[in-house]
Every structure is written in structure tokens, then in C-alpha cells.
Structure 1
Amino acid sequence: MANEMRVFLMTKQGKEVQEKQEKKHELLNDPRAFYQDHFVSIRPDCLVVKKYFIPSLLPYEFPWHKIESLTYMPQNQDKKVPGKGMDSEGRWWATDLLRPHERELHLYNVRIDVHDLEPRMTGFTVIYIDQFLKACRHLLPYSCKLSGCVWSE
């Protein structure tokens, strides 16, 4: 059976199937985004957290003027954070099933608190924290509290 599958994947039809599968896993580009990665996009009007709702994995948009605080921390220092759902603080986390596990990549957990929106406390993953912070620093309200620490082994 394995040999038959290899032979099939070498055919034109097999290659088309492979291409379709690869396209399903590609991120759709957001033409309005200043920054985007697998977990989040930054637009002029809002912060888009991808794969937010469970089980639909639909995104959620947070208008910039509603964000009261933003905190970031390396995942290797941030323990007891679920891969999705609510944590012990009552914060809802966007889906990142590998978040509770050790990774070789230096990813960050970002927490935001918002006003006049539900949920008030949200968390998500960011891949490139420097680029993320650079992109959103002029969009966050002046009153927003920003804090965090960088990666350390």
C-alpha cells in the first residue's frame, strides 16, 4: 500500500492533491495588515487574533481604542497557560495547542485587557515580538499600559 501511495503521489493527479493539501495550511494574506503571523494580524483599525473562537477557530477583532493594557512574556517563562480556552485567572486564550509544551522556537504569550468588550481578558501567541510591538506601538492608545520581558534561556 505504501508503494502504491508513493507511485500515486508522483502522478499529475497525485501532485495536484498534494498542492491542494499544502494550500489548506497556508495563511491567507491580510492586505490591510502591517504585521501578521500564524496567530495574529495588526491592521490600522484593530488587532486581529486568529483562531480565537472554539471550536470554529474564527478570528476576533479588538479595536485599538478598547485596549487598556498589553503584557508579553516568553513562553518558556510562562507556565500554566492552556493551549486554548480559559485559564485560572479567567483569561481566554486563542488556540495554540503547542503553547503548554516546550518548543525550540522563541514564541511569546501576549495578554491584553480591554474595556467595553467581552471577554475583558484575552491571551494569544506572537511569533516575532519585536515586529509585533513596532507595528502596534503607534496604534495603541496613549493610556495603554505596556509591559513585558524578553526571552532568556
Structure 2
Amino acid sequence: MNSFFRINMLHSLKILLLCFAVQFLQPAVAAGILPENVQAELEQQWGIRVISLRQSAAGYMLDFRYKVTDPVKAKKVLDRSIKPQLIVTSTGNHLQVPAPSKIGPLRQSSREPRADTNYFIFFANPRRQVNIGDEVSIQIGKLEIPGLKVSNS
């Protein structure tokens, strides 16, 4: 009976590791969130590449992920003084980054961005007004990324 338990435990561990591997590979699949020419323009001008925009926290948050490709250019995007906004295309509503008093804004900011590092920004989604498939724009200072679709994975 003891060996049976070990074998099942081993299989469970393999399945768990496979799930983690799929999770880490997922951003590469989601990279088609923007047309390649738009991604190339973002990389050239702003030093970032959009990875994903997903619902999170049971739909009450939107999780925007991007990768820094050029730290010098990306400094403008990661500036702490800039307040990012998510604009809902259909309604024109502006969603903000929540800033709880004890932990501060729910976004990464860095004085020295690092290349090939993923960064995130969480946007509040009150009343779950933005749903999967909705089109939005993200504005970070002078950077505007139009035509993003919200996904669930």
C-alpha cells in the first residue's frame, strides 16, 4: 500500500509541475494581443512589448502585463509620478490603478527598469463593467495603447 501511495504522489507531482509549466508558457501564447506592427512600434518608441490584459480577482481587477525590451526607453513608462489609466472604448469610462494606503499603487514602478523583465499594472474594475472580449485602451503618460481586448487566460 505504501508503494501505491508513492506512485500516486509522484503522478500528482508531475501533473502539478505540468500545470506550472503551462502557466509560464501562457504569456508567449497571449503575445498575439496586438498586431505585430503595433508591438514593433511600442518596442521601438517605448521599449516595451505587451504580453496580456486579463480579468483577475473574480473580474473586479484587470491585470495588464508587459515586458521591458529597452530599459532606457521604458523609464518613461515606469515613472512613479505617472498615473496609468484604462479607457473603455465603448463607454469612454476611465479606470484607475487602486492605491491602498498601506501598500500603495498596484503597479510596478522602477527607477532602473531591467531588460527582459515582465511588469504589471492592476486596474480597478468596479461593478465588473469591463468583460472578457471588451476593447480598451491603456494610457500611461504620453503612451497610448489602443485596441486591446480583455481575455480570461
Query: Do the structures match in fold with TM over 0.5?
Result: no
Greater fraction helix: 2
TM-score normalised by L of structure 2: 0.31
Q: What is the TM-score with the length of structure 1 in the denominator?
A: 0.31
